[in-house]
Structure formats: C-alpha cells, structure tokens
Chain A
Amino acid sequence: MSVSTADAPLSVPRSSRHRAPGAGAVFQVEVAKISAQFLPRLVAAACLIGPFVFALIMRTQTSVPADTLFGRWVHTSGFAIPFVVLGFAGIAGFPLLTSVVAGDIFAGEDRHMTWKTVLTRSCSRKAVFAGKALAALAFSATMVALLALSSTVAGILLVGWKPLINLSGTVMSPGRSLALVLQGFGMALIPTLAFTCMAILFSVASRNSLAGVLGPPVTGLVMVLLSMMGSGLVVRSILLTTPFEAWHGLLVVPRGLTLFLLGLVVSTVYSYLCLSAAWAMVRRREFTGETGGVGGAAAWKRLGRAAVIGLAIAAVVAVAAAFDRTWISSHRVEDSVGATFSNLVRVQQTMLGHPERARSFTVSPFCARESAGGGVSQGAGDDWVCQLNVNGARLGQLGLSYTVVVRPNGCYTAEGPPGLVGGQRIREPGGHSAVNPLYAFDGCLIAP
C-alpha cells in the first residue's frame, strides 16, 4: 500500500476567530446517539404501544382497576384511560422512563471510554454539558408527550369519545376532558423534567450507567413511601413525587392549583440544585484515564457514600413526616364528600331518566373516624365513616352511611350501602347497563 503526499489532507488551520460549535451542535449529536440506541427506542415503543395494550386488556375484561382514580370509568369513557395511565406513571413510571436516557447520557461516555473523544473536539465543556442536558430533557418531554398522545388516542379509539365524571362528581364533555388530559400531562411534565435533572446528577456523580438509570426511580419510590408515612403538607411538599399528583386539582370544583404551583417551585429548586451540582462535577473533573464505566473500587465507594447519605436523608424525612401536622380534617372530608355525593345524585338520576327528582335536595354530611372515638377526627385512614342525610322533595329523607378510605394525598374512595344507592351497575332507560356512580366514588380534597 503506498501513500503519497496527495493522500494527506492538507492542513487548513482556522483563524482564531473561528467560532466553536456550541450546545446546539452537541444537542444534535446527542439526539442522533439517543435515536441509535436500543433502550431509548424500547422506551419510546413502550410509551407508544403500552397504553393501547392497557386499553385493550381493559376492554376485554370485566373487572376494572377501581383502586385507582378514574379506574372505575375505564369502560365508560375513553378519557379515563389517560388519567389512569397518568396516575400509574406518577408512581415510578415517569422517573424510570426519563432516567433511561438522562441516567446514561454522561455515564455512557465513561462506559464506552469516549470522554476523551468528545472533549477533544471544538466544543467547550460547558457546551457539551448543556447539549447533553438539553437532549436528556428533550427526550423526557417527548416521552411524556408520546404517552399523553398514545393513551388519549387509545382511550378514544378503544373505549370511545364519551363524557367523563370528574372528582367532584360533575360530568365533563369529551372536549373538556381532552383539554384536562393534556393539561394533566403538562403538569406531570414539570416534575418529570426535575427527575431528568436528578438522573443527570446520578449519571455524572456515579459515572455508572446502572446507578444513573436506577437511581431516580428508586429515589422516586422511596419518596412515594415517605409520602405514605404521613399526611402533613410540609413534608409532602418537599418530595418531588408530590407534584405528580397536581393534576388532581384540575378535576375538582373549584380548581385546586396550590399543589401545581408548589410543585413548580419544588421542581425548579430540585432541577437547579441537581444541574448545578452535576455541572460543578463535570467542570472540575480531570480526565486522567477511563475505567470502563463500572469504575472500580473508587466508584463503588462513591456509590456507597451516596447510598448512605440518601438513606440518612430518607430517615430524617420519615421522622419529620411523623411529626408533620395533617391537613386532612373532618370538615374538609365532609365538604368534599357531601358536594361530590350531591353532584353524583344528579348524575345518577339523570342516567335513570329522572333528572327532575334531583332538582331540589340537600345533603348534610357528618364524617368521623371510628378510631377517633369521641376525639378529633383527622388524617389519612381507612376507617372514616360519612353519614349523609339527604332531604329532598322528590327524593324524600334518606340516611346513607358511606365508608371512606382517605389516602395521605387527600384523595379518597367512598363506598355506599348498596341497599339504598343501588348495585354496582344500574340499568338506564334504554336498557343499557352502566356504572352506578353512587355505589362507590372517588374524590380529592383540595390542599390549603
């Protein structure tokens, strides 16, 4: 093989004024790399196909996921499907799907030992960091949008473009439901992006893809567990999983946006802290020799230290949760259960073809916890009982006792006496069987 001078690419040194490509170029490169990898493709496919599979399974079986908000309506309205998906994804789904890319985007360079290749190009370290972070955030946003789109389309196609009953017991038109689905996913996007920033920090700090990918969902699950330990608003507010429930506020009347605004602030703080810490590490890091990702003893020591610190923080939060004062009071439960029940009576009577019966009536609720004895009833628990005294010209006088399970996030499930409110399903005048809205219903208290 011969090589002549003509083969050599002539050197064309650029002028010192040549502007180095910035974060935009790195962003494009990262997007190309992400789209060429198996796991991100798998996540995208899961977001696209998963809701269809779920809706199909729901359609073929008679039972419904009644323990989830809107679960009892999955056979009734197509818009219940995206809300159920949103509820499930908020537990650990969003943190997991976002960390598949964000948790690997920096650690992947350690795994493939490509840092020296990336950092010896024209782009500055700042541009590399910004471009990678932007690509990870863009992937997360795309996956949330994909999940919103596919679950909505799956619901509409497989269940139908039908009205949905909200968490205050009022009927929403399909158009309104669609708008709220999109707003709900939009609200979930904010903590998802914060989890993306957390995954970036895990990725940078651990230099290990496995820790980067699994760290945020595990943290998310720990936060979910911590949020179940108490119903105090202070501790719940600082947990990054709480903003995933902000969409509940869209579906109650009047709208409750406190959780959303709080989530916005908390997510911003988490994002800022995680990105600042990650950037400080990347900026100061000396690339003295790669270790192939797993990172040897030093990396495991780093991971061990991080795990100990994480556990210590979780323990402190758990103790704080036990002392955090609850905001769930009997008055709030009475207000919400009473109002929701009233609205559902109208819905039920309309379904039965007697809307005039529910035109004028009053509901007097009295709620208390069995475990409270004669004391103050408050907090989350499955021993709430609500006595609803109905008094109406056409309905007559009724005394209904509902057992209510109130969860630490303020959402509840109330189950009524079948003898008085009817069975699980009722028959509409046209002969169709439908879900009896008064048999059991879900609602959410509005956080102060």
Chain B
Amino acid sequence: MAGPITAIEATGLVKQFGDVRALDGLDMQVERGEVRGLVGPNGAGKTTLLRIMFGLVAPDHGSVRMLGSELTALGSGTLNGVAGFVEDPRLHPYLSARRNLLLLARMDGVPPNRVDEVLRVVRLTDRAGHRVGSLSSGMRQRLGLAAALLRSPAVLLLDEPTVGLDPAGAKQVQHLLRALAASGVTVLLSSHNMTELEGVCDSVTVMRQGRSVWEGSMARLREEAPAPAHRLWTTDDGRALDVARADPRVRAVADPEGWLTVSAEPADLERYVLSLGHADIAVRRLEPLMGALESMFLELTGAREERARDDADEGADRIEAAR
C-alpha cells in the first residue's frame, strides 16, 4: 500500500479534565494493517485517546498523526479515511437502521448502495427496516460497526466493539476485524478484556493513568506474561502456604474469600500439588483463576499489586484466625 507505513502516531499527548489528568504524555505508534489492542482499567485514558483521534476533544499538549495527516484544530472533522465509534454507538432511534445509514452515507459522501453492502457484512439485512430504538443492544453495536464501515476506512477506531454481543456475535466481529486487517485496514480497539484481544490483535498497548506502560506484539506479551494463577482449596491452608514458601517458583497468597491464589508455571504447579500430598494436605479443589495475559494485564496496570496486597492482609488474618 502506498503512503506512510505508520498509520497512527501519537506523541506526548496530554489531556486534563479539571483535576483529572486523563492523558499524561502518551506516545503510541501503530503500523498500517496492524490490529492494535488498547487495554487498561477504567480511567486509564483509552476513551479520551479515541475521542482525540476523532477530533471530538482537543489535546492540551502533543499531537496525533493518522495516515500522514495531522489532526489540527478542534472541529475540523474526523480525518479522511478514519472511522469507528467511541463508547456505545448511537443512532437516531426514530429512524430505521437503513435510513440512519443512508443519512450517514450522505454525510460521508458515499453512494447509497454501500448501505446494503455494510448491512450484509454485519448481518443486519433482515432488520434494516426496523427502527433503531427497537433493536437490541447487540444489534445496535453491529449497526455502529456498519456505520463505521460505510466510509471504507483505512483506520478503524473501535471502543469495546463486542460489548453487548453474544459469544457468537463477538466471534463474528473478531473475524471481521481480522478480515479487514488482512485487506490493509489498521484497527485500534479498546477493551477491558485481555482474553478477547488475544484472539484478534497483533499487538497491544497497555495504558495506566494516562500513560502507555507496555507496548509490543502479542507474542512478546505472552513471553513476558507471568505464571497463570489458580484457586486452591485445601484441608489446611496455613500449612499449604508454608509449603509454597519453601518453593521459590510458587507464589501463594491467602484470599479472604476462603481459598489460596497460587501463581506458578504448569510444571511447578504440578510439583507443588504433589508436595501438598506428601505433607498430608488434601487438595479439595483446584481451578484456573486467570490466564497468563490477564495476569500480565493486572501486573502492568498495577491492579494485581493492589489486589494482592489487600488480599494478602485479609487472607493472613483469616489464616491466623483459623490457627
């Protein structure tokens, strides 16, 4: 594809809302044809970043270039070739799905026949004549995607596109995004769900408190991800903790809810379970708590440390009380 290789380039973005610093010097670069996940806890600045990219909000400092063009003043309109939605897509409830898209097509300067094409892509042809107000949230989400696709975008910015969709619908959207990327479209999608991004993204930017705290490919993320976590119920949690402390490859903390959270690679976990047996501690139940990527997400965004600290304090109290 002709043109610059970098599709999205954000440099030193700062945005302050009153006392809240939504973006704090964010840098990000996304290549053409890449599907980039944008993850972070609530308030990390994901939606603000997307709003800036759409020209809905002006940054206090920094710049954004997309497809070689720099976003200029507020109100100059969304850049040519850029489409998508931020938060949940909203359309006029008193108009039908098709009528909404026809009007948006007119505002985009695209021919009306494109409407049926995108309705077919999001599988809403049979609901095209229904008023948007009567559609389910999942259908409205798909309609929002159709509205974004109207412009034949080269950069697609999507804010949690699978929210409200059933598993099959979510899977369908993920397939669609992969297909779009294969045809050269750059996709930037935000999500809370690391596992969901795993199946669709080439790379990830993890945001925390308005900054990018990690950026790289999914493969690298998997490599760097910490050991997966499991929930463990035993006949003697206090002694099970002591056994874990003896093995440097196993990390266990007591959870106030009544179990132990054990982080270890699969082989180390197996060895730990055997050790518990040797110590006459019966394993009542063992189940996965979170995958490696989710674990990584929690670690990067600081949520894990905070949660672990709180849980450890409360869990230790529980164990102490049991003893």
Contact of B106 among A25, A115, A287 (CB under 8 A): A25
Please indicate the chain A residues that have their CB under 8 angstroms from the CB of B231 in the complex.
none
Q: How far is the CA of A21 from the CA of B152 in the complex (A)?
A: 16
Please indicate the chain A residues that have their CB under 8 angstroms from the CB of B152 in the complex.
9-14
Q: Are A122 and B147 in contact (CB under 8 A)?
A: no
Please indicate the chain A residues that have their CB under 8 angstroms from the CB of B90 in the complex.
112-114, 116-117, 290
Q: A26-B107, A287-B51 are in contact. Are A117 and B91 (CB under 8 A)?
A: yes
B33 to chain A, nearest CB (A): 10
Q: A4-B179, A13-B67, A118-B107 are in contact. Are A286 and B57 (CB under 8 A)?
A: yes
Q: Are B85 and A116 in contact (CB under 8 A)?
A: yes
Indicate if B216 sits at the interface (CB-CB under 8 A): no
Please indicate the chain A residues that have their CB under 8 angstroms from the CB of B51 in the complex.
116, 287-288
Please indicate the chain B residues that have their CB under 8 angstroms from the CB of A7 in the complex.
120-121, 176, 179
Indicate if A28 sits at the interface (CB-CB under 8 A): yes
Q: A284-B74, A287-B57 are in contact. Are A121 and B104 (CB under 8 A)?
A: yes
Please indicate the chain A residues that have their CB under 8 angstroms from the CB of B107 in the complex.
21, 25-26, 29, 118, 121-123
Q: Are A36 and B94 in contact (CB under 8 A)?
A: yes
Please indicate the chain B residues that have their CB under 8 angstroms from the CB of A36 in the complex.
94-95, 99
Please indicate the chain B residues that have their CB under 8 angstroms from the CB of A114 in the complex.
90-92
Q: How far is the CA of A227 from the CA of B284 in the complex (A)?
A: 87
Q: Are B56 and A32 in contact (CB under 8 A)?
A: no
Q: A119-B78, A120-B84 are in contact. Are A10 and B183 (CB under 8 A)?
A: yes
Q: Are A117 and B185 in contact (CB under 8 A)?
A: no
Residues B237-258 near A (CB distance < 8 A): none
In the complex, residue of chain B having the shortest beta-carbon distance to the beta carbon of A282? B75
Indicate if A61 sits at the interface (CB-CB under 8 A): no
Please indicate the chain A residues that have their CB under 8 angstroms from the CB of B11 in the complex.
none
Please indicate the chain B residues that have their CB under 8 angstroms from the CB of A8 in the complex.
121, 176, 179-180, 182-183
Indicate if A359 sits at the interface (CB-CB under 8 A): no
Indicate if A124 sits at the interface (CB-CB under 8 A): yes
Q: A1-B123, A5-B179, A286-B57 are in contact. Are A117 and B118 (CB under 8 A)?
A: no
Q: Are B75 and A29 in contact (CB under 8 A)?
A: no
Indicate if A432 sits at the interface (CB-CB under 8 A): no
Q: Are B154 and A18 in contact (CB under 8 A)?
A: no
Q: How far is the CA of A38 from the CA of B133 in the complex (A)?
A: 15
In the complex, residue of chain A having the shortest beta-carbon distance to the beta carbon of B182? A5
Q: A8-B179, A25-B107, A119-B56 are in contact. Are A112 and B153 (CB under 8 A)?
A: no
Please indicate the chain B residues that have their CB under 8 angstroms from the CB of A10 in the complex.
152, 183
Q: Are B106 and A13 in contact (CB under 8 A)?
A: no
Q: Binary interface profile of A, 284-296, with partner B (CB < 8 Å = 1, else 0)? A: 1011111000000
Q: How far is the CA of A32 from the CA of B9 in the complex (A)?
A: 38
Please indicate the chain B residues that have their CB under 8 angstroms from the CB of A123 in the complex.
77, 107
Residues B278-317 near A (CB distance < 8 A): none
Indicate if B93 sits at the interface (CB-CB under 8 A): yes
A448 to chain B, nearest CB (A): 46
Q: Binary interface profile of B, 153-183, with partner A (CB < 8 Å = 1, else 0)? A: 1100000000000001000100110011011
Please indicate the chain A residues that have their CB under 8 angstroms from the CB of B95 in the complex.
33, 36
Q: Are B172 and A126 in contact (CB under 8 A)?
A: no
Q: Are B108 and A116 in contact (CB under 8 A)?
A: no
Q: How far is the CA of A191 from the CA of B99 in the complex (A)?
A: 34
Indicate if B80 sits at the interface (CB-CB under 8 A): yes
Contact of B154 among A2, A11, A37, A126 (CB under 8 A): A11
B212 to chain A, nearest CB (A): 21
Q: Binary interface profile of A, 275-287, with partner B (CB < 8 Å = 1, else 0)? A: 0000000111011
Most buried by B among A5, A8, A118, A288: A8
Q: Are A1 and B168 in contact (CB under 8 A)?
A: yes
Q: How far is the CA of A288 from the CA of B95 in the complex (A)?
A: 25
Q: How far is the CA of A198 from the CA of B14 in the complex (A)?
A: 36
Please indicate the chain B residues that have their CB under 8 angstroms from the CB of A316 in the complex.
none
B4 to chain A, nearest CB (A): 12
Q: A11-B154, A13-B152, A116-B54 are in contact. Are A283 and B75 (CB under 8 A)?
A: yes
Indicate if A62 sits at the interface (CB-CB under 8 A): no
Q: How far is the CA of A64 from the CA of B94 in the complex (A)?
A: 43
A338 to chain B, nearest CB (A): 59
Residues A1-52 near B (CB distance < 8 A): 1-5, 7-14, 16, 18-21, 25-26, 28-29, 32-33, 36-38
Q: How far is the CA of A3 from the CA of B183 in the complex (A)?
A: 14
Most buried by A among B90, B154, B182: B90
Q: Are B78 and A5 in contact (CB under 8 A)?
A: no
Indicate if A407 sits at the interface (CB-CB under 8 A): no
Q: Are B176 and A3 in contact (CB under 8 A)?
A: yes
In the complex, residue of chain A having the shortest beta-carbon distance to the beta carbon of B54? A120
Q: How far is the CA of A11 from the CA of B83 in the complex (A)?
A: 11
Indicate if A125 sits at the interface (CB-CB under 8 A): yes
In the complex, residue of chain A having the shortest beta-carbon distance to the beta carbon of B93? A112
Q: Binary interface profile of B, 171-206, with partner A (CB < 8 Å = 1, else 0)? A: 010011001101111000000000000000000000
Indicate if B70 sits at the interface (CB-CB under 8 A): no
Q: A3-B172, A120-B83, A121-B107 are in contact. Are A9 and B118 (CB under 8 A)?
A: yes
Please indicate the chain A residues that have their CB under 8 angstroms from the CB of B91 in the complex.
114, 117
Residues B86-115 near A (CB distance < 8 A): 86-87, 89-95, 99, 103-104, 106-109, 114
Q: Which 5 A-B pairs have the closest CB atoms?
A: A125-B75, A8-B179, A13-B154, A3-B175, A124-B77
Q: Which residues of B contact A (CB under 8 A)?
A: 17, 48, 51, 54-58, 67-69, 74-78, 80-81, 83-87, 89-95, 99, 103-104, 106-109, 114, 117-118, 120-121, 123, 144, 147, 149, 151-154, 168, 172, 175-176, 179-180, 182-185
Q: Can you spell out 22 A-B residue pairs with CB atoms less than 8 angstroms apart?
A: A8-B121, A9-B121, A11-B180, A11-B183, A11-B185, A13-B67, A16-B68, A29-B103, A32-B99, A33-B95, A33-B103, A114-B91, A119-B54, A120-B54, A120-B56, A120-B86, A121-B151, A122-B107, A124-B75, A126-B75, A286-B58, A288-B57
